[in-house]
Amino acid sequence: MKFLKRIKLFPDEALESYFIRCAHSNGFQKISLFLQSLSAFISLRDKELKGALSASLSRLNLHKAHNSSAYRVRAIKLLEEFCDLQPSCLLRVAVLRTNRHFGSYVALARSNVLFPNIMLREHVIPVCPLCLQERNYIRFIWHLKPIQRCPKHQVKLIFNCPECGNDINYIQSENIELCSCGYDFRQIKPSEKTEESMSASLFESSENADKLSLEFGKYLWFSKHSGVELDDDYFLPKFNRYFSNWPDNYLSYLKTQESKAIEKQTSRFNQISVNDIWCEQLQNTRLVTTNRVNNLVLDQLANYFIDLVNRYPKCQHANIADTLINQVDSALLLRTSVEQVFRLLEDGYLKVKFGVPTEAIYKPHIPIFYLREVIELTQAQGSNTSMFEHMISAW
């Protein structure tokens, strides 16, 4: 099978956009009918693929598949043949699920770029009228919450139809340039240009995949740290201003928390958790990247704790460097796993706070170690340099 009219796929195009254009070019006004026809042809070719392709445009992308995700990949490969495309073209523009995480958020992938699932827009997908005038297709970056302005034309994206006021969402309307009321978005005169740092070729080059994945992790961390929503109108300008003064502003924040803790101390520091003072900063570093290395926030936090231990040496009375830390956070500082931290405890590299009940040792979120001793072990192993993903121990 080949489509009567085969159209070009753009490297920065959303998968759903391509199927809309393909359906309209081949005489289908209802995308559901087009997808049902495709599904019928695919199941004739391979009986195992019956039902693998969703008949709903909103469920078409691969990250929306459930138990049939592997079959849907096979179905997409057949569609590449129908569309007369090069192998893996459609897979490269599809959004895929992964087994990796940015903290508690599942990492999705497109063109080898990882980004947290919370970053995808659901209800509104804005457009740039100038982009549509040049090439009538949906750019995938418009799906991402931090993108409020067109990276190419530096104008604000259009979120609502000027005619009827409804939210713009081409997946719901099944039309790229027209609102459901019939208004043509290409007629819109955009607002004045504003500066935007995101590159227009966001997903066009595989060479930038690792760099972009780290950038998206930084977006997520900044959103949680600063309280600025990912879809805030000025998220990227605020992000850029913050990181233009990195790491001084972050270190200033950490030292402010330190001063407050000393000023308002109500218990001995060897009975206070690190998280009571620095507000889950260690756990939040997991938002930056999907692995234990190349984490610029964790690097700065580890260096700060090293400096803290140096400024508050061991003495007769407990000080702020003697605060308590749990196994999960210790694993972050040591760039290793919780299992290996437990093994370090068994081998005598770490010791627990006096009086900790045995059952608490098996609960990784209970603070049982002294921050000072974890930091000293970190320095002894060299893991604060981000060079070691696994601890070195006798076993």
> Residue 393's pLDDT is what?
47
CA angle 61, 62, 65 (to 5 degrees): 105
Name residue 101's beta-bridge partners: 106
- If one compares 222 and 385, the residue with the highest pLDDT of the two is 222
Quick one: what percent of the chain has pLDDT higher than 90?
68
Residue 273 to residue 258: CA distance in whole angstroms: 13
Q: Is the pLDDT of residue 394 over 50?
A: no
Question: Per residue in 85-119, pLDDT tens?
Answer: 888 899 999 999 999 999 999 999 999 999 999 99
Per-residue pLDDT at 202: 54
What mean pLDDT comes out for the span 340-349? 92
d(CA 78, CA 65): 17
pLDDT of the residue at 380: 86
pLDDT tens figures, 242-265: 999 999 999 999 999 999 999 999
Residue whose token pair is 């001793």 = 373
Mean pLDDT of 121-131: 95
Average pLDDT, the chain: 89
| Average pLDDT over every residue of 196-216 | 71
User: Given this model, what pLDDT does residue 71 score?
Assistant: 85
Of 395 and 212, which is predicted with more confidence? 212
Q: At what angle do helices 31-45 and 69-82 cross, to 10 degrees?
A: 100
What DSSP character marks residue 114?
E
Give the pLDDT score at 68: 56
Confidence grade of residue 395 (pLDDT, cut at 50, 70, 90): very low
Q: What is the CA radius of gyration of the chain?
A: 26
Query: In the prediction, which pLDDT does 204 show?
Result: 57
Q: Which two tokens stand for residue 50?
A: 């019956």
What single DSSP character describes residue 186?
G
User: How far apart are the C-alpha atoms of 309 and 296, rounded to whole Å?
Assistant: 20
Interval 81-88 mean pLDDT: 85
Q: Which of 22-31, 91-100, 385-394 has the lowest mean pLDDT?
A: 385-394
Residue 386, pLDDT > 50, answer no
Please write the tens of the pLDDT for every residue from 288-332.
Answer: 999 877 899 999 999 999 999 999 999 999 999 999 999 999 999
Q: Which residues pair with 122 in a beta bridge?
A: none
Please check the confidence at residue 195 and state whether its pLDDT lies above 70.
Answer: no
Residue type, 355: G
pLDDT at 388 over 80: no
Burial annotation 349-364 (CB, 10 A radius, 16+ → b, else e): bbebbeeeeeeeeeeb
Question: For the residues 21-48, what does the mean pLDDT come to?
Answer: 88
Alpha carbon distance 71, 48 (integer Å):
8
**In the chain, % of residues over pLDDT 70:** 91
Find out whether the peptide bond into 247 is cis, omega within 30 degrees of 0: yes
Among the listed residues 9, 237, 289, the one whose alpha carbon sits nearest the alpha carbon of residue 139? 9
Domain boundaries, the chain: 129-241, 252-385
- C-alpha to C-alpha distance for 143 and 131, rounded to whole angstroms: 15
User: Could you tell me which residues are beta bridge partners of residue 107?
Assistant: 116
Q: What was the pLDDT predicted at 179?
A: 95
* Mean pLDDT, range 132-160, rounded to an integer: 94
Average pLDDT over residues 208-222: 92
Whether residue 200 is predicted with pLDDT greater than 60 in this model: the reply is no
